[in-house]
């Protein structure tokens, strides 16, 4: 089909095209006049998804950012958020909306039906290459639509804060329960350690050294004095146990300022002091006996004491190792208790915090023109649709009912033309033509 044939068909079927165009224009005008105008208003906020939490310091991983955004988008269209909007505007008490609800014949409760209307007209999306969330609402009145968009944003922020507080409260309660259990475990571990030390007369210091080992170290650090021929010693020299006893007394005095009188650590130190005090008394008695008999504190005497103390340390090595294991259990339980209590405190702060991780970007602006129907695009679309439908219909009819409108409609390449018939030409109208021979005049 050539271009001339195409336009010849359109001209012959021009009535169909004109009718289709007029029908589409009438339809567009009816839509403009009868369909209620709809307006769109948008309210924006920033999702602080890369900023660490001000309480816990936790930050959202980039691998979960997409899932987080999708979750927030669905939350904006959730019933709990839409229900807050319904409550904020008091729509359940509106006679007009109640009448529409009854006319709809819906099985949903009134509050749920109103919330569903909000959900159906709400859309949310993240603006490309940004953390800005745009909440869009479609309504019939420009001012009301803008107010609803802002209320949706506020309801979403309030619900987000409520979710965070509820989750933090649940976790805090769980950690508090674990804290109470760990307190009991710490008390049991300390009681087991104290009972073992009391039963075996072993007391460990802060550096996990028992009293006998500490006394052995004190004896090892004491150099034997060379024998002399001086006068007898008037007063005994301070023994290693007395030095250790003075250190324990200072430790007890310091701990008493912060610990209660029945604290397990304080009780253990007092037991250790009793053992060291007994050893110091024996050493002083031996020194006095030596002084009274004219003897002197010589190097071999201290060496004998060192050998005896070494035998005592070796004899109770297994018990000391068991006591140290009990001390390790106490420390592990205390560290776990401290971590759990710290986490419970952080969650308590989160439960009281009003931080949502959302930043508002100003209020929604009432739209000046409706989003639908838009007159110019609708009329242009109607014209395009009418012309396209008319042209398509003309071509289909022409294909179904072919007609010869010019000689090129029956021309076939390679087939000779045998003859041509044409209708009589119309009679000329001019006077010169009427005077010609054979014109039929006078």
- Give the tens place of pLDDT for each residue, 202-221: 777 666 676 667 766 776 66
Count, in order, helices (H) and strands (E) of the chain: 14, 4
Name the band, by pLDDT with cuts 50, 70 and 90, for residue 228: very low
Q: Residue 249 half-sphere exposure, CB side, CA atoms within 13 Å?
A: 8
Name the band, by pLDDT with cuts 50, 70 and 90, for residue 420: low
Mean pLDDT of 87-99: 94
pLDDT of residue 100: 93
Name the band, by pLDDT with cuts 50, 70 and 90, for residue 435: very low
Q: Residue 376 half-sphere exposure, CB side, CA atoms within 13 Å?
A: 1
What does each C-alpha distance from 232 to 136, 227, 290 come to in angstroms?
104, 12, 10
Of 358 and 276, more confident: 358
pLDDT of residue 421: 66
- Percent of the chain predicted with pLDDT > 90: 42
Tens-digit pLDDT profile for residues 177-204: 999 999 999 999 989 888 888 888 777 7
pLDDT at 324 over 90: no
pLDDT at 113 over 50: yes
b/e sequence 377-391, b meaning 16+ C-beta within 10 Å: ebbeebeebbeebbb
As given in the structure block, the two tokens for residue 30 are 């009816």
pLDDT of residue 432: 45
pLDDT of residue 306: 67
pLDDT at 126 over 70: yes
Name the band, by pLDDT with cuts 50, 70 and 90, for residue 165: very high
* Spatial contact of 336 and 182, defined as CB atoms under 8 Å apart: yes
List, as one string, the DSSP characters of 19-51.
HHHHHHHHHHHHHHHHSPPBEEEEEEEEE--SS
Chain-wide mean pLDDT for the chain? 81
pLDDT of residue 59: 57
pLDDT of residue 219: 65
pLDDT at 127 over 60: yes
Of 105 and 414, more confident: 105
Residues contacting residue 198 through CB under 8 Å, at least 6 positions apart: 271
Of 437 and 140, more confident: 140
Q: Where are the domains of the chain?
A: 3-170+354-376, 180-351
- CATH fold, domain 3-170+354-376, is Bacterial polysaccharide co-polymerase-like (3.30.1890)
pLDDT at 89 over 90: yes
What does each C-alpha distance from 85 to 91, 155, 156, 170 come to in angstroms?
9, 7, 9, 27
pLDDT at 173 over 90: yes
């Amino acid at each position: 089909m050539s271009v001339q044939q195409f336009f010849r068909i359109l001209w012959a079927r021009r009535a169909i095209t004109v009718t289709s165009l007029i029908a589409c224009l009438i339809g567009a005008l009816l839509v403009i006049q009868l369909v209620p105008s709809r307006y769109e208003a948008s309210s924006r906020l920033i999702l602080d998804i890369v900023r660490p939490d001000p309480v816990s310091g936790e930050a959202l991983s980039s691998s979960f950012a997409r899932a987080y955004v999708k979750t927030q988008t669905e939350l904006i269209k959730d019933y709990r958020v839409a229900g807050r909007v319904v409550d904020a505007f008091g729509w359940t008490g509106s006679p007009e909306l109640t009448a529409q609800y009854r006319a709809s014949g819906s099985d949903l409760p009134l509050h749920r039906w109103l919330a569903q209307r909000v959900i159906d007209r709400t859309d949310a999306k993240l603006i490309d290459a940004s953390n800005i969330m745009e909440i869009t609402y479609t309504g019939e009145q420009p001012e009301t639509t803008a107010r609803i968009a802002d209320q949706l944003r506020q309801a979403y922020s309030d619900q987000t804060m409520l979710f965070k507080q509820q989750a933090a409260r649940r976790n805090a309660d769980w950690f508090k329960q674990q804290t109470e259990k760990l307190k009991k475990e710490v008390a049991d571990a300390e009681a087991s350690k104290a009972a073992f030390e009391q039963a075996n007369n072993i007391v460990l210091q802060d550096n996990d050294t028992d009293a006998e080992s500490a006394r052995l170290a004190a004896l090892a650090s004491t150099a034997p004095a060379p024998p002399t021929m001086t006068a007898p010693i008037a007063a005994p020299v301070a023994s290693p146990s007395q030095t250790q006893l003075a250190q324990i007394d200072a430790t007890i005095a310091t701990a008493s300022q912060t610990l209660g009188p029945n604290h397990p650590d304080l009780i253990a130190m007092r037991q250790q002091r009793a053992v060291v005090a007994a050893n110091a008394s024996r050493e002083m008695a031996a020194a006095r006996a030596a002084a009274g008999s004219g003897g002197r504190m010589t190097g071999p005497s201290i060496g004998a004491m060192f050998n005896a103390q070494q035998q005592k340390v070796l004899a109770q090595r297994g018990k000391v190792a068991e006591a140290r294991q009990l001390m390790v259990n106490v420390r592990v339980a205390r560290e776990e208790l401290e971590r759990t209590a710290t986490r419970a405190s952080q969650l308590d702060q989160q439960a009281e915090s009003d931080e949502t991780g959302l930043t508002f970007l100003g209020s929604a602006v009432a739209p000046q023109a409706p989003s639908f129907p838009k007159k110019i695009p609708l009329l242009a679309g109607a014209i395009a649709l009418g012309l396209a439908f008319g042209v398509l219909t003309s071509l289909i009819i022409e294909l179904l009912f072919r007609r010869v409108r010019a000689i090129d409609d029956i021309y076939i390449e390679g087939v000779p033309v045998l003859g041509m018939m044409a209708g009589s030409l119309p009679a000329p109208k001019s006077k010169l033509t009427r005077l010609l021979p054979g014109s039929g005049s006078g």
